[in-house]
Amino acid sequence: MKLDDLPLPALHQSCLENSLQLRTGPFVTRLGTSYHGLIEQLGFFYSNHEVIQAPWVADFHVRILRPVSVRRIWRPQINFFLDAKHPFEPYALEQALPLFEWGLNWCIATHAHQFLMLHAAVLERDGHALLLPATPGSGKSTLCAALAHRGWRLLSDEFGLIRPETGDVWPLPKPIPLKNRSIEVIREAIPEAQVGPLFTGTRKGDVAHVKPPCDSTRRQQEPARPAWILFPRYQSGSPTRLQVQTPELGFVRLSRNSFNYRIMGETGFRGVLRLVQNCSIHQLIYSRLDEALRLLAQLPVPDGNGTT
Amino acid sequence: MPDRDVLWQYVPRENIVIEALDLQAAVYMRPTGETHILSTLPAEILIHLMTGEKTEQGILQAIENAHGLTSDADWRVQIHASLMQMQSLGLTTP
C-alpha cells in the first residue's frame, strides 16, 4: 500500500510506535518519530512510496527524536538515531526533514555495500540510464529535477546504485534537495514541480525539496541499463556544450566519485570498468537549463560499447 | 645508465587484473587494492612481460616485432623509465 492510503491517525500511530516501514528503492526503513511537523512533511513527500505493513527485516531502524532536555523548549532541537546511535550533532527542530533526508543518505552510503555506489543523479529514458556524477555546486540536482519533469524517469538524485552482478542501476527515488539559487530556477522553469517548504540557514544554505514524480516512485523497483555518463558543470555565462571524455578519464572521475570504490575492492574496479566500457561519456558545460534539456533530449543511444 | 642485462618480471599473475581501456590500461592490484591507469607504453610492456621475464633489450625487441617498428635510443630510455615507474608502483620487479 502507498503511504497516501494510510489514514492520517494510522500514520501518526505508526510513527509514534517506531513501526512505519517505508520502502525507498531497494531499501526499507523502519521509522519512528513523535514530531508532528516531520510526519506531515513525510506525508507530502513520500505519499506515493510503498508502506510495508507485514513484519519485515528493515535495512535501517531510524528514529527522529526531540531531546529530553531544555533544548526541547529553548531553541528546540531534534536528533537522528540509527539504532541506538546518533551519528550527527542535533539539528534545529524545524530542519527535521533535511535531517531525515541527509541521515538516510548517510545510512545508505555507509552500509549498502551490496551496491557500487556513485555520488550521482540518475535518470532513465526507454530503459537507458543517464548517470550524472558530480561534485557539490555542479548543478546536478537542478538538472536532475528539471529532467525528471521533462520526459525522463527519476531514479535518484544522490546515488547511482550499481548492482555488480548485472551492471544495472537501481532506483532510489527520494525528494530532490535544491539549494540556494537553484530553488528559484526550478520554480520558474518547471512550475509543475512540487516544491516543499523552504528550510533556511541549514548547513548547506537554504534548501527546498522537490517531490519525486509519481511515475518515478511507482516504478521504484525497476532498474535500468546504464547508457550515458555525463559529468555536469554549471558555468555562469557559458554556452551549452558536450565534450567527449575518454574512458580512462571517465574511469578516474567515476572511481573518485564513488562512495565505496575502495571498500568494494576488485568488484568496484570491475563495476567502474564495465560502466566506462559500455557507456558514452561526456562532460556537459551549461549555464542555461533550457538549452541543457534540449541537448540531453537528443542524446543518441549508445550501442553498448560506449559509442553512439 | 640502464642495466640491459637485468631481467624484468611482471608481478604474479594472480595478484593483478589488467584490462584494456581504449589505448590505455586499467590495472587493479589485488594485494593492495590500488588501481592504476597505465598509458600505452607501460601497458604494452606489461603485456610482453606476461609471456615471461625479459631484459630491457628483450622488451624492446618484443615491441619492435609486435608493431614492425625500428626503435632508437629514445625508446630504450622510455622503456627504462616506464619499468622504473612500474617498479615503484609494485607492478614489475627486476
Q: How confident is the model at residue B1, as a pLDDT? A: 44
Tell if the CB–CB gap between B33 and A246 is shorter than 8 Å: no
What tens digit of pLDDT does each residue of B45-61 get? 998 998 889 999 999 99
Residue A302, pLDDT above cutoff 60: yes
Interface with A, mutate which of B21, B29, B38 (most A CBs under 10 A) = B21
In this prediction, residue B11 carries a pLDDT of 80
**Mutation site, B22, B24, B34, interface A, largest A CB count within 10 A:** B22
Do A150 and A293 meet the contact criterion of CB atoms below 8 Å apart? yes
Chain A window 200-259: which residues touch B at a Cβ cutoff of 8 Å? Answer: 246-248, 251-252, 255
CA-nearest residue to B27 within chain A is: A269
Q: State the average pLDDT over residues A127-139.
A: 92
All 3 cell numbers of residue A194? Answer: 512540487
B2 to chain A, closest Cα gap in Å: 30
Q: How many Cβ atoms are within 10 Å of A303's Cβ, its own excluded?
A: 11
Residue B17 near chain A (CB below 8 Å): yes
Select the more confidently predicted residue: A180 or A304.
A180
Write out pLDDT tens, residues A235-283: 999 999 999 999 999 999 999 999 999 999 999 999 999 999 999 999 9
Q: Do A277 and B17 touch (CB under 8 A)?
A: no
Interface test with A, best of B14, B32, B34, B37 (most A CBs within 10 A): B37
Nearest CA in chain A to B22: A247
Selecting from B22, B30, B33 the residue whose C-beta is nearest the C-beta of A248 gives B22
Would an 8 Å CB–CB cutoff place A305 in contact with chain B?
no
Reading phi first (left if > 0) and then psi (alpha if -120 to 50, else beta), residue A285 is in: beta
Are A265 and A296 spatial neighbours (Cβ–Cβ below 8 Å)? no
For residues A157 and A174, is the Cβ–Cβ distance under 8 A? yes
Residue A308 has pLDDT above 70, yes or no: no
Confidence of residue A189 (pLDDT cuts 50, 70, 90): very high
Shortest CA gap B84–chain A (Å): 22
Residue of B nearest to A269 (CA): B28
Q: For position B2, what pLDDT does the model report?
A: 53
A8 Cβ neighbours under 8 A, 6+ residues apart:
A43
Tell me the average confidence (pLDDT) per consecutive run of 10 residues in chain B, 94 residues long: 73 87 91 94 90 92 87 86 92 89
Residue with cell 544495472: A168
Judging contacts by C-beta atoms under 8 Å, the chain B residues touching residue A260 are none
> Which band of pLDDT confidence, cut at 50, 70 and 90, is reported for residue A284?
very high
Taking the CA of residue A143 and the nearest CA in chain B, the distance in Å comes to: 29
Could you list the beta-strand ranges (E) of chain A.
20-24, 27-33, 60-65, 77-82, 91-92, 116-125, 128-133, 153-156, 159-162, 169-170, 176-179, 195-202, 205-210, 225-234, 241-244, 280-286
Which tens digits make up the pLDDT trace of A203-229?
Answer: 889 999 999 999 999 999 999 999 999
More confident residue, A172 or A137: A172
Considering only the beta carbons, identify the residue of B19, B22, B35 that sits closest to A255: B35
Looking at every residue in chain A, the average pLDDT score rounds to 94
Which pLDDT tens digit goes with each residue over A36-82? 999 999 999 999 999 999 899 999 999 999 987 776 677 889 999 99
Judge whether residue A142 has pLDDT over 60: yes
Q: What is the pTM of this model?
A: 0.91
Sort strands A128-133 and A116-125 into parallel, antiparallel or unpaired.
antiparallel
